[in-house]
Amino acid sequence: MKGCKTTMSDSVISVKQLYKIFLLGKEKVRALNGVSFDIEKGQFVAIVGTSGSGKSTLLNMLAGLEAPTKGTIRIAGENIEHYNERQLVKFRRNHVGFIFQSYNLMPTLDAVENVALPLTFRGMDKTIRERKALKALKLVGLQKYIKHRPTEMSGGQQQRVGIARALVLEPEIIFADEPTGNLDSVTTEEILKLMQDVVRKNKTTLVMVTHDNYLASFADRIIRIKDGKIINDEKREQFEKNE
Amino acid sequence: MKISDLLHMSMSSLFKRKLRTILTVLGVVIGIASIVIMVSLGLGLNQQQMNMIEQYGGLKTITVTEGSSSGGNGSGDSSSSTDLSKKLTDDTVNLIKSMDHAAIVSPVLDFDMIIRTGAYTYQGYGANGYTLEALEDMKWKFSEGELPKEGDPLKFIYGNLILQEFNDASGDAVYYSTGEVPDIDLMKDPLFVIFDTEAYMSTQNPQDESPFDAGTVDDGSGGTAEPKTPPKKYIIPTAGVLYGDGPEDYKDYSYGVYCDIEPLIAQLKKVYRGKAIPGQPTKKNGQPYKELYYSSIYVKADDVENVKDLQTQIQNLGYEASSNTEWIEQTKKTSEQQQAMLGGIGAVALLVAAIGIANTMMMSIYERTKEIGIMKVLGCDLGDIRSLFLIEAALIGMIGGVVGDLLSLSVSCIINSVTGEKTSLIPVWLYLIGLGFAVFVGVAAGFFPSKRAMELSPLSAIKNE
């Protein structure tokens, strides 16, 4: 499931001059005001900003949930800025995994079924997808909870299911929106370490949005956003030196 | 997504909201059951009417009488009509036989006669001779005796209520004055039959002294023209008596007398040797024609559908042909109207059920906005989302249809056992239509909700609450 067309560089995400302008009455609100960056394959990137900075809008556009007003987004070799909804759904199904703040597990399904859900959407056979789901659950350390429903699990366990669900697709990119926002500090650390660990092992690109600098410090690279513009973009070596 | 996965997901979400699903299904059950029961009542009514028509002379029979070109054919006994082209002869019978869809064609000869037995007299009218084939096809039930056989001498078959028509010596009908039928055993008692009723009347009326004397029966030469001489009597054996359930059971044969036409003709020719048989046309000099002219022709079509066609063919030849088609068509029209009306009442119930389904689906979609959003974010195809909700709605319809059919079946059984007859009639196709309609209503009601689900924004899923 690697990018159909290989890009010239090694970047799996390439954003150029991205604008998103909302109209609030007659007033124009620039949520994103000309953002450009590239993300290499296998990188763990944190997008950091306060609320209202435009970081969530950026993530939504990268994931193909919102259309940009202007600019190009090239992900896994596909220019998605002009995709219609059908194409976007297909694009997500084939290339992208998601980790949500509020886990967003299906309450009626147990852990295995939840993890296997994206595979179900791909039309995969039940036996194959459950085998893959079990493998993913094992990877996040939940082999004992495979038959539990979301309501029977703690927040940390639920988020592990969420991570397993994102991993099971073996996607090129995983997007995470405040993945530990609802968790206590101990669990937060566990989860972040797990994510860090897993993406390194699988060489998956991970883009995480957060407002917390400490959480961002787990990433390989931090992009800081303020008022719709990138104000800082540094690699791990740099920001570790700064501290 | 695979069909099996879609089905599984739809079913589990229905199962999760059990009470709501049950209530929605209940609406469909009531809607379908009321339609099916209402239509079944209409069908039952229609069937009963058809049975009635069948009893009153059949659905497939056509009665052919001579063409009207000669005029004055109405009473059938106009003996002086000279236009013979549209009279009914063996040629006519053969002509009709050669037509498509004519299953049975039998000439019918009406004749008058008087029966005397003991102190009782029966003044017959409308005694008819048919071919054996036609008689067999009537599928009559006999309470005594059976049909005459090929080659038998003339034998009569009596309707089940014929004894009510026997008068006593004073000329009063015994049954209508006393309520009891005369004590006559039609099978065993000797029945003296007078064919020449005209001559009989002329000897009876002027002098009212009971002239009847069984001893005068003889097989001698034909009755003379001497008016005072009573006509000859013949003992005609009885082939059988038709079945009827009590004195109230009226059928179209109840007051009739029937016989095989072949021995009848032979008998009549013997009785009226050298004279015209009453009802037959005569030449100017009073002599009969060589050929025998029938009173009517009994035609049976091979199928109800072809009656009209066959009737038209015969009419085109210039003969009068009547059947129950108009009656049947009228009945059909009425019962169609009834069914439409009854079905309409049921349809209202189903419409309410459809609104119920749509409402349930909308509620379900609002509740599951987030779920639908997640599915979209995770890459669930838009068509699959629509299918999920359509299948859910169709399942509600289908379950409702099946249960509704079962309910109709039991209600129909109850109605029939209460009324004691087939008041409610549910053919298999009605069940299938009920079920199909239920699924259709489910899908139709689920169409807009499912479209709405498909168009929900995936963004709602990742809003953090």
Residues B13, A181: C-beta atoms closer than 8 Å: no
**What are the DSSP calls for A36-83, one per residue?**
EEEEETT-EEEEE--TTSSHHHHHHHHTTSS--SEEEEEETTEE-TT-
A122 at interface of B, judged by CB pairs closer than 8 A: yes
Judge contact between B25 and B399, C-beta under 8 A. yes
Nearest chain A residue to B388 by CA distance is: A121
Chain B partners within 8 Å of A63 (Cβ): 377
Q: Which residues of B touch A158 (CB under 8 A)?
A: none
Provide, as residue numbers in chain A, all residues whose Cβ is less than 8 Å from the Cβ of B4.
Answer: 126
Length reported for chain A:
243
Say if CB A232 and CB A55 are below 8 A apart: no
Q: Which residues of A touch B382 (CB under 8 A)?
A: 85-86, 89
What's the mean pLDDT in B180-187?
84
> How high is the pLDDT of residue B70?
44
* Ordered strands of the A11-24 beta sheet: A27-40, A11-24, A70-75, A78-79
Which residues of chain B neighbour A118 with C-beta distances below 8 Å? 378-379
Q: What is the pLDDT of residues B24-66, one digit of tens each?
A: 899 889 888 988 888 888 888 888 888 877 776 677 888 888 8
Where does residue B372 rank: exposed (0-12), middle (13-18), buried (19+ CB within 10 A)?
buried
Asked if the C-beta of B451 comes within 8 angstroms of chain A's C-beta atoms, the answer is: no
Q: Do the Cβ atoms of A102 and B464 come within 8 Å?
A: yes
CA-based nearest residue to A224, from A60, A96, A70, A54: A54
* Interval B311-321: pLDDT, tens: 888 888 888 88
In this predicted structure, what is the pLDDT of residue B304? 80
Q: Are B95 and B310 in contact (CB under 8 A)?
A: no
Chain A residue with Cα closest to B381:
A89
- Establish if B367 touches chain A: CB-CB under 8 angstroms: no
CB contact under 8 A, A108 and B1: no
C-beta atoms of B374 and A108 within 8 A:
no
- d(CA B27, CA B30) in angstroms, rounded, equals 5
The rounded distance, in Å, linking the Cα atoms of B50 and A205 is 79
- For residue B162, the model assigns a pLDDT of 86
Whether chain A has a CB inside 8 Å of the CB on B374: the answer is yes
Query: A interface mutation test: which of B15, B377, B456, B463 has the most A CBs within 10 A?
Result: B377
Asked if A120 is an interface residue toward chain B (Cβ–Cβ < 8 A), one would say: yes
> Which is it for strands A44-48 and A221-226: parallel, antiparallel or unpaired?
parallel
CB-based contacts of A144, cutoff 8 Å, min separation 6: none
Q: Calculate how close chain A gets to B12, using CA atoms only, in Å.
A: 8
What pLDDT sits at residue A236?
Answer: 80
Residues of A in contact with B17 (CB under 8 A): none
- Closest by CA position to B134, among listed B64, B44, B39: B64
Residue B215's pLDDT is: 46
Inter-chain residue contact A126 with B12, CB threshold 8 Å: no
pLDDT tens figures, B146-167: 888 888 888 899 988 888 888 8
Q: Is pLDDT of B219 > 50?
A: no
What residue spans define the domains of chain B? 3-52+331-463
- Give the pLDDT confidence of B414-424 residue by residue, as tens digits: 999 998 888 88
Residues B358-388 pLDDT 10s: 888 888 888 888 888 888 888 899 999 999 9
Instruction: Tell me the C-alpha distance between A189 and B452, whole Å.
Output: 40
pLDDT at B221: 45
Q: Which residues from chain B sit within 8 angstroms of residue A89, using beta carbons?
A: 376, 379-382
Which of B163, B155, B124, B158 minimizes the C-alpha distance to B239?
B155
Sign of CA dihedral B79, B85, B86, B90: positive
Interatomic CA distance for residues A67 and A85, integer angstroms: 10
For chains A and B, count residue pairs whose Cβ atoms are closer than 8 Å: 74
B386 at A interface, C-beta within 8 A: no
Of B107, B143, B60, B43, nearest to B296 by C-alpha is B107
CA distance, residue A64 to nearest chain B CA (Å): 9
User: Rounded distance, CA B462 to CA A103, Å?
Assistant: 9
pLDDT value, residue B57: 64
Q: What is the enclosing helix (H) or strand (E) of B264?
A: helix B261-271
Q: What is the mean pLDDT of residues B257-263?
A: 90
What residues of chain B lie within 8 A of the CB of A177, using their CB? 462, 464
Least trusted range by pLDDT, from A82-86, B284-288, B395-399: B284-288
3-state DSSP assignment of residue B385 = helix
The complex's ipTM works out to 0.88
In the DSSP assignment, the letter for residue B306 is G
- Higher-pLDDT residue of B385, B172: B385
Q: Which two tokens stand for residue B378?
A: 């995770």
Q: Do B462 and A122 touch (CB under 8 A)?
A: no
- pLDDT of B80 > 90? The answer is no
Phi, psi (rounded to 5 degrees) for B125: -135, 140
Tell me the nearest-neighbour CA distance from A47 into chain B, angstroms: 17
Query: Taking 70 as the threshold, does the pLDDT of residue B228 lie above it?
Result: no
Q: For chain B, what percent of residues have pLDDT higher than 90? A: 13
Here the tokens at position A139 are 């990877």
Using 50, 70 and 90 to split pLDDT, how confident is the model at B462?
low
Is A220 in contact with A236 (CB distance < 8 Å)? yes
Rg (chain A; Cα; Å): 18
The H-or-E segment that residue A230 falls in is strand A229-235
pLDDT at B205 (0 to 100): 57
Tell me the C-alpha distance between B399 and A220, whole Å.
56
What value does the mean pLDDT of chain B take? Answer: 82
Give the C-alpha separation, B367 to B449, whole Å.
12
Please give the Cα distance from B143 to B189 (Å, whole number): 16
Q: What are the C-alpha distances in Å from B122 to residues A75, A122, B75, B175, B215?
A: 108, 92, 22, 12, 19
Please state the φ and ψ torsions of residue A11, each to the nearest 5 degrees.
Answer: -75, 135
What is the predicted pLDDT for the residue at A9? 54
The model's confidence at residue B114, banded by pLDDT at 50, 70 and 90, is: confident
Low pLDDT (below 70) residues in chain A: 1-9, 242-243
Query: Which of B16, B382, B462 is closest, CB to CB, to A100?
Result: B462
Antiparallel, parallel or unpaired: β B166-167 and B192-194: unpaired
d(CA A191, CA A201): 15
Q: How far apart are CA A224 and CA A55, in angstroms?
A: 9
pLDDT value for A73: 93
Separation between Cα atoms, residue B160 and residue B154, nearest integer Å: 19
Strand order in the sheet with A205-210: A96-99, A173-177, A205-210, A44-48, A221-226, A229-235
On the CB side of B323, CA atoms within 13 Å amount to: 26
Q: Name the 3-class secondary structure at B396.
A: helix
What pLDDT score does B431 carry?
A: 93
Q: Cα–Cα distance between B80 and B280 in angstroms, integer? A: 8
